[in-house]
Amino acid sequence: MVNPGFIGVSVKDAKNRGNVIHAQAARRLLPKGEELKYVKPWTDEDLEIVRSKSHLVVVMANAISLGVEESPMSAVHAVMADNIERANMPTVVLGLGSQAALGASPKQSMPKGTLRLLNALSHHSRSIACRGPFTVDVLKHHGIDNAEAIGCQSVYWHGDQIPFDFGRRTDSEAYAFNYSIVRAEADIIEWGVQSSFDLIGQTEFWEEMVIDKKNPEVTKKQEYLFGNTSITEEEYRAYCINHFKRFITAEPWIDYMGRYALSFGTRFHGNMAAWIAGVPSLWLVHDQRTAELCELLGLPNVALGEAIDNLNIEFLSERAEYSTLFKKYDENLNRFKEYLSRAGLSFALN
């Protein structure tokens, strides 16, 4: 049997640890898939290897940056577009999302390299799996009509089975949180530090250096935190040593999250790691990518501002309520299975 090949978001993402959950979930679906190089133009030898696969599976994450002429990934996207066009083979997209402020219009420009990639994906795919309806509208605005709202494959880590019995965490008194932007979430960080909650990092590399005993200099991000909260640099460094956690791969991260009574924050996959571990999670909605995923999948969520106005565990725990997800789960899972089947992929989802 010919197996598919993966390009795109890797299970070894060094820039955003959350992407390892997203990426590993795709590999669990297609366990016989093989990794392919993709950030440089493919040589004839590369193309021979690529064309020996049944499909190109492109794992994307929130790849679309709106309202900007260039993004950190737009040059890579242009290379990917050229490679996909040259390969000229069946292509399957997983997890495509848009980076945009909450309430933003889908009718915005995007980097030319990204649009080139989306057109290449559209041409070589039966349809493009998007994270939610907002990203579908973005693609429609740019003339791409074969997009559909599928969600994120990470929610189906356990396939047909919803992963938890909520009652089993009632004995835990440990809580985990995550954040995205210090300026918007300083109150939550201050509360988390004062409450000795564990901070699960994704792009917090200053904190990583602290726990690695590298004594980093204070950056503008930390300057803002120390200047606008009661947290001092000395206190925060001590807090990080005891309460900051980071993970390089998915499985150890998920295993670790099983100790908590609740995970909350603005990081989609930070909370998803807890969800997969069977721990109640609450998404604090602060941007369009989180909003569209929570809307489509029925994940429990609250607006970031409302959470800041109600910083207590009782409020957050009560809002981590899953009745909407339970109602939507089978329908969403079947839609995802149908997407993979239409693409001609054999998958492990049961």
pLDDT digits 0-9 by tens, 168-222: 555 678 999 999 999 999 999 999 999 999 999 999 999 999 999 999 999 999 9
- Where along the chain do its domains lie? 5-158+330-342, 166-327
pLDDT tens for each residue of 102-120: 999 999 999 999 999 999 9
Handedness of CA 228, 231, 233, 239 (dihedral sign): negative
User: The tokens of 110 are what?
Assistant: 């995007």
Asked if 319 and 300 touch (Cβ cutoff 8 Å), the reply is: yes
The pTM of the full predicted model, rounded to 2 decimals, is 0.94
Q: What is the C-alpha separation between 301 and 290, in angstroms, rounded?
A: 9
Average pLDDT on 312-322 reads 95
pLDDT tens for each residue of 121-154: 999 999 999 999 999 999 999 999 999 999 999 9
**Residue 240 — very low, low, confident or very high, per pLDDT cuts 50/70/90?**
very high
Q: What is the pLDDT of residue 341?
A: 96
Q: Is the pLDDT of residue 163 over 90?
A: no
Q: Is the pLDDT of residue 290 over 70?
A: yes
Q: What percent of the chain has pLDDT over 90?
A: 88
Q: 263: helix, coil or strand? A: strand
Q: What is the pLDDT of residue 334?
A: 95
Which residue, chain included where needed, has tokens 């564990």? 198
Which residue type occupies 182?
Answer: V
Task: Give the fold, CATH level 3, of 166-327.
Answer: Rossmann fold (3.40.50)
